[in-house]
Amino acid sequence: MSSSGERWLDRDAGPLVRPYARTRGRTRPEGEGFELIAVVVAIGGPVGDRLRYSPDHLRILRGCARPVTVADLAADSGLPLGVVRVLLGDLRDEGLVAVVAAAAVEGARPGTGVLREVLNGLRAL
């Protein structure tokens, strides 16, 4: 609260929380970073007590239940991209998520029909 008694509140968005507060002041994940188009997926066993998970960690982990790009994960979770990368780093360090090769993701490559449609659309331009 400020001295005038106002709360840090956006009527539409709810309480405002600064990104650095969600990551405990960290701006980069430990170890290797995450590319924007990297595909991540949840792996391993139960969450357990290995890390004090924040609600944001759990939201990211649920979002990784199926292979998803880092960009899509950030968009779906509503969290800033930098925050998602730091939280993914925490989860990777605990062995709960992994980056998978795009070729390993089922259906990652579009079918021939889709590619023909794209090519026809480009020619029509």
Tens of pLDDT, residue by residue over 48-95, are: 655 567 778 888 998 998 999 999 998 988 888 888 888 888 888 888
The pTM of the full predicted model, rounded to 2 decimals, is 0.62
Give me the residue spans of the domains in the chain. Answer: 9-124
Match 């930098």 to its residue by tokens. Answer: 82
Per-residue pLDDT for 41 more than 50? yes
Task: Look over the chain and give the mean of its residue pLDDT values, rounded to a whole number.
Answer: 75
* Residue with the larger pLDDT of the pair 15 and 1: 15
- Percentage of residues in the chain with pLDDT exceeding 70? 62
DSSP string across 17-51 = --HHHHTTT--S-SSS---TT-EEEE-SS--TTSS
Kindly state the average pLDDT of the residues 21-27.
62
**Rounded distance between C-alpha atoms, residue 42 and residue 48, angstroms:** 14
Q: What are phi and psi of 109, to 5 degrees?
A: -95, 130
The number of CA neighbours under 13 Å toward the Cβ of 101 is: 2
Per-residue pLDDT for 33 more than 80? no
Kindly state the average pLDDT of the residues 17-22.
61
